Structure 1
Amino acid sequence: MLLLYDILRWEEKSFIEAAKKLGIEIKPVHVPSICGKVGRTDADMEDIALQRCTSFYNALESAIFMESLGVDVINRSDTIMICQDKLWTTSLLARRGIPVPDTYVAFSHDSAHKAADELGYPFVIKPIHGSWGRMLALIDDEEDLRTVIEHRMYIPNPIQSIYYAQEFVRKPGRDIRVVVVGDEVPVAIYRYSDHWITNTARGGKAAPAHVDPELEEIALRASEAVKGQFLGIDILEHPEKGYIVDEVNAVTEFKNTVAVTGYDLAKKVLEFAVERVKR
């Protein structure tokens, strides 16, 4: 089994330690050091790899490369690409009838005002590509929107003229990070914060969460929609709609999940990977 990484964090080290305890041979592969021929058929490769790169591009492209060698990657390149693109993820979820926040997309700075008219204030603008709660903007009024548009107009990147706008969900001071491994939901946490952004990377505090049948079902449906095997799914408690899926993470961090629940998630994922190879 391969462990693809670019930075050896707590999560990657936990996989290495868990593999030793389980008697599984795991080979860490530093992705920035890779150089190989695409589609090579005579390479002596492992059957399966865990994708753990922090860089989206390292994760996506190394997964594609490994797949060209016949390696089964958890998660696969198509899942990584879908989850990186919030619009793509939301589109797939919505088409399958999975509850999501009311979401509008506008394809120019001018049409962003139309999204505001449809959603009403306040609402949230998110980058289509992004993680760790970065570059989110809570738009309380027209002046906030004008300021964000003005900033985006001076960023020389075409994607800055595409606006992904969502309703502001008045959640109960928390969201839920649900972990899916295969077709199971082994563990989940609440992420609490006085701020509307509850990511633990932004200061949110974690606590164990109870996984009821409804929460389990929506998480598994979301995982199936993006073809995932090991995912962190962010779910909000909407005051009218109940559980709704906010985002899906294809290279999920789980240090805080293990810290507050004590659940051995690395062991669970490794056992799933071994069973996948056997099948």
Structure 2
Amino acid sequence: MSATPEPSAARRVAVLAGRVGADEKRLFDAFERRNVPYEQVDPRRLWFPSRREGPPWRLALNREIGQVRAVYAARSLAAAGVDVVNSAGATEVCGDKWLTTLALEAAGVPTPRTALGLTPQAALDALDAVGYPAVIKPLVGSWGRLVVELPDRAAAEGVLQYAGALPGPQSHLGYVQERIDKPDRDIRVIVVGGQVVGAVYRVGEALRTNVALGGRALPCPVTPEIEKLSLASAAAVGADIAGVDLVEDRDGRLFVLEVNHRVEFSGFQAALGDRVSVADRVLDHLLERGRP
């Protein structure tokens, strides 16, 4: 790894974070306020020998924003005997929208009609089956970036022609999904350790309601159905800490869109205020995981 840890380091919790944002600062504050030793570790500086050595830390909280680094760091640390939250498997599934969809479908969680075309032409055929209006999304991505609404086949042909000219084989895959006719909001639920921490409405214009893109977070009551679907979704992808995104159609039916393994919660926290501390709930779960 980047350096040989001190003997006492194995008693600390490693927080993997190449970028420290508001959420990481909240987590660090919770660690310090509760006198829990931790170490911020930048995965961009980590390297791993193929021969296993002693575990450098007992626990690691994976907050790395780079999907590939997050998966390989989790796998390598787990091989060295470190308990990593979320696991490499959960990080890999949540980081790929198609793998997430397959996991949710296998668990019987309601999702919008979804298909994957392995070429742009196949994606067009898939869209004909899914129906318009639809959306096309990148397999790996967050914050609603590169999500495009497709009102009809002509729009789809233009988008997929552009995608087919991009370098890299992953750009040529078409992850397409029916467009749910919904209010100008979706629902974000945070799950930690098999329990729902809370829920917020994310209100925005048109397709994107992400707080990172200017959406507003407002308190949302946790109904029994929201709780059931959120817990089932987190379990389906194997995530201890999860941000579950749901949408409701005009008839009030709920569908799960995706599950996030690296939960951003500043907007969520601002909406719910002092009623809940996401950082403390995460720390509670880590302490429970770390008990002998």
TM-score (norm 1): 0.95
Write the letter of the residue equivalent to 2:53: T
Supply the distance in 2 between the matched residues of 1:64 and 1:95 (Cα, whole angstroms): 24
State yes or no: 1:165 paired with 2:176. yes
Write the letter of the residue equivalent to 1:6: G
Residue 158 of structure 2 is matched in structure 1 by 147
- By how many angstroms is 1:240 displaced? 4.4
Whether the 8 Å contact between 1:38 and 1:68 is mirrored in structure 2 is no
State yes or no: 1:21 paired with 2:33. yes
Write the letter of the residue equivalent to 1:265: V
Whether the 8 Å contact between 2:54 and 2:81 is mirrored in structure 1 is no
State yes or no: 1:192 paired with 2:203. yes
State yes or no: 1:265 paired with 2:258. no
Residue 53 of structure 1 is matched in structure 2 by 64
Residue 8 of structure 2 is matched in structure 1 by none
Change (3 A) 1:164 1:36: closer
Residue 8 of structure 1 is matched in structure 2 by 20
- By how many angstroms is 1:241 displaced? 6.8
Supply the distance in 2 between the matched residues of 1:33 and 1:105 (Cα, whole angstroms): 35
Supply the distance in 2 between the matched residues of 1:63 and 1:39 (Cα, whole angstroms): 16
State yes or no: 1:182 paired with 2:193. yes
Residue 276 of structure 1 is matched in structure 2 by 289
State yes or no: 1:96 paired with 2:107. yes
Whether the 8 Å contact between 2:110 and 2:254 is mirrored in structure 1 is yes
Residue 3 of structure 2 is matched in structure 1 by none
For structure 1, list consecutive stretches of 5 or more residues without a partner in the other structure: none
- By how many angstroms is 1:264 displaced? 1.0
- By how many angstroms is 1:171 displaced? 1.2
Supply the distance in 1 between the matched residues of 2:60 and 2:122 (Cα, whole angstroms): 43
Write the letter of the residue equivalent to 2:177: Q
Q: Map of 1:59-78 to 2, 5 A cutoff?
A: 59-78=70-89
Runs of 4+ in 1 over 4 A off after TM superposition: none
Change (3 A) 1:39 1:99: farther
- The alignment partner of 2:188 has SS state of strand
Supply the distance in 2 between the matched residues of 1:116 and 1:271 (Cα, whole angstroms): 44
- The alignment partner of 1:111 has SS state of helix
Whether the 8 Å contact between 1:39 and 1:68 is mirrored in structure 2 is no
Supply the distance in 2 between the matched residues of 1:241 and 1:77 (Cα, whole angstroms): 34
For structure 2, list consecutive stretches of 5 or more residues without a partner in the other structure: 1-12
Residue 222 of structure 1 is matched in structure 2 by 233
Supply the distance in 2 between the matched residues of 1:122 and 1:42 (Cα, whole angstroms): 54
Residue 122 of structure 2 is matched in structure 1 by 111
Q: Which deviates more, 201-210 or 236-245? A: 236-245
Whether the 8 Å contact between 1:87 and 1:164 is mirrored in structure 2 is yes
- By how many angstroms is 1:195 displaced? 2.0
Whether the 8 Å contact between 2:183 and 2:248 is mirrored in structure 1 is yes
- By how many angstroms is 1:270 displaced? 0.4
Whether the 8 Å contact between 2:166 and 2:172 is mirrored in structure 1 is no
- By how many angstroms is 1:35 displaced? 2.9
1:18-63 CA distances to partner (integer Å, 9 max, x unpaired)? 01111211111121122332452335x2211111111112211111
Supply the distance in 2 between the matched residues of 1:106 and 1:37 (Cα, whole angstroms): 38
Write the letter of the residue equivalent to 1:10: A
* RMSD of aligned residue pairs (Cα, Å): 1.4
Supply the distance in 1 between the matched residues of 2:73 and 2:81 (Cα, whole angstroms): 13
- The alignment partner of 2:53 has SS state of coil
Percent identity of equivalent pairs: 33
Aligned pair count reads 278
TM-score (norm 2): 0.91
Residue 232 of structure 1 is matched in structure 2 by 243
